[in-house]
Structures are given as structure tokens and as C-alpha cells.
Amino acid sequence: MENKNNKEILRRKWMIKRKKIFEEKGLKKSKEITKKILSLEEINKFKNIMIYVSYQSEVNTENLIISLLNKNKKVFAPYCIKDKKRMEIVEINDFDKDLEKGAYGIKEPRKSLKNKKFAPKNLDVVIVPGVAFSKNGYRIGYGGGYYDRFLTRLKDETLTIGINYDEMVFNSIPTDEHDLAVDMIITDKKILQITKT
């Protein structure tokens, strides 16, 4: 229980910090992160890429999504099924036309696309949001567990990339047994390859 409380306290504190960073230089930092992602050999090599659609003070993903669509990548956006506490994904082809406000006020694929569900095990890359990350690849999310559950449905070879502002990567964060580390963290300053033990 104590770990849960610690996470909650840190989550609130770090969300305030992230909001301040976003207000001061979030879009500039997001641009740097986008550039780094697009320069990755893996991104150019792989086809099926899932990316979260940014909300509030998260690293902005709009330009990244549009750039990948322009490179003829298959881009998948998530949506939440609240009553099942489950996240699914569908392909989008147009940032403006294929997204609408959904659960929690976050943009997600419009209703008419949701019957074209895509199996997570067929993804090559997943871009993962987080309030904060640790240098060994763990994350603190928003507490709903959507991503934790989703990441268990990927195949082992899927590359998971956490993105955040450089100030939101810490030496360590509280973790639980079920937490999964990402393979790579990209900030506006660096690319961290995570060595998993």
C-alpha cells in the first residue's frame, strides 16, 4: 500500500512539474523528440507503429504522427474502453479527419473506425507516454493501468519507446511487480537504450 501512496504523491508532484515544463518550452522540446524518433534506424525499418495522441502537457505527438503517415508508415492510435479498463488500437490515415475527442477528453480514433481493431502482437513499435520515467525504463503513468495491461499483449520483439522531457527522467521511481520497462527512452536531450536484466 505504501508504494501505491508514494506513486500517487509523486504522480501529482511530477504532473505539476511537467505542466510547468510544457508551458515554458514543451513544443520546442516536443520538436526535438520528434526529430530524434524520426532519425531512428528502427523507425525507418519498421512498418506498424502505435503512437499515443498527446493530451495537455504530454510530449506533443501531432507532428510525429503526420510525419510517419507521410513516410507511408501504418500508424495506430489507441482508445480506451472504460468499463473494461482496456485499451485497443486502430489504424488512422489522417490526423484531422480520423480522430475525435473520446474517453477522458483525449483524442482517439472516431467511432466508425473502431470496428477495424488491430492485434497488438502485430505492432513493430509502440510509443509510450508517461508522467515520468526512470533511467532503467520504468514509468509512472496516470494510475489507470491501461498501458501496463496493453504492453503485456505485445510480442517480445516489439520495440517500446518511452518519450518525455529530459527533466522527467529520474534515477529511480517506485515500481510494482507487474510494471514493465520500455526498451528505449527518448527525451529532447538524449536517447537511452535500456539494458534489461
| β-strand pairing of 74-81 with 86-92 | antiparallel
Place of cell 472516431: 110
Q: What is the arithmetic mean of pLDDT over 58-81?
A: 96
pLDDT tens for each residue of 93-128: 999 999 998 877 889 999 999 988 899 999 999 999
DSSP string, 85-144: TEEEEEEES-TTTSEEE-GGG-EEE-GGGTTS---GGG-SEEEE--SEEETTS-EE--SS
Residue 89 has pLDDT above 80, yes or no: yes
Residue-level pLDDT at 4:
62
- Could you tell me the sign of the dihedral formed by the alpha carbons of 100, 93, 46, 114, in that order? positive
Residue 191 has pLDDT above 70, yes or no: yes
Residue 177 has pLDDT above 50, yes or no: yes
**62-70 and 2-38 helices, crossing angle to 10°:** 40
Q: CA–CA distance from 182 to each of 52, 89, 91, 158, 188 (Å)? A: 15, 19, 22, 10, 17
The answer to whether the CB of 105 falls within 8 A of the CB of 95 is no
**Which band of pLDDT confidence, cut at 50, 70 and 90, is reported for residue 137?**
very high
Residue 70 CA to chain centroid, in angstroms? 20
Q: Is 84 or 76 the better-scoring residue by pLDDT? A: 76
The domain locations on the chain are 2-193
Residue 88 has pLDDT above 80, yes or no: yes
Task: Please tell me the CATH code under which domain 2-193 is placed.
Answer: 3.40.50.10420
Residue 66 CA to chain centroid, in angstroms? 16
**Which band of pLDDT confidence, cut at 50, 70 and 90, is reported for residue 175?**
confident
Ramachandran quadrant class, 182 (left: phi over 0; alpha: psi -120 to 50; beta: rest): beta
| Angle, vertex CA 195, rays to CA 191 and CA 197, nearest 5 | 160
Residue-level pLDDT at 2:
53
pLDDT averaged over the chain? Answer: 92
Torsion angle of C-alpha atoms 89, 90, 96, 101, degrees rounded to 10: -50
Place of cell 522527467: 168
C-alpha cell at 11: 504522480
**Which band of pLDDT confidence, cut at 50, 70 and 90, is reported for residue 1?**
very low
Q: What percent of the chain has pLDDT over 90?
A: 79
Provide the 8-state DSSP code for 171. S
Residue-level pLDDT at 19:
97
- Which range among 42-56, 103-117, 173-187 has the greatest average pLDDT? 42-56
Q: What is the arithmetic mean of pLDDT over 51-67?
A: 96
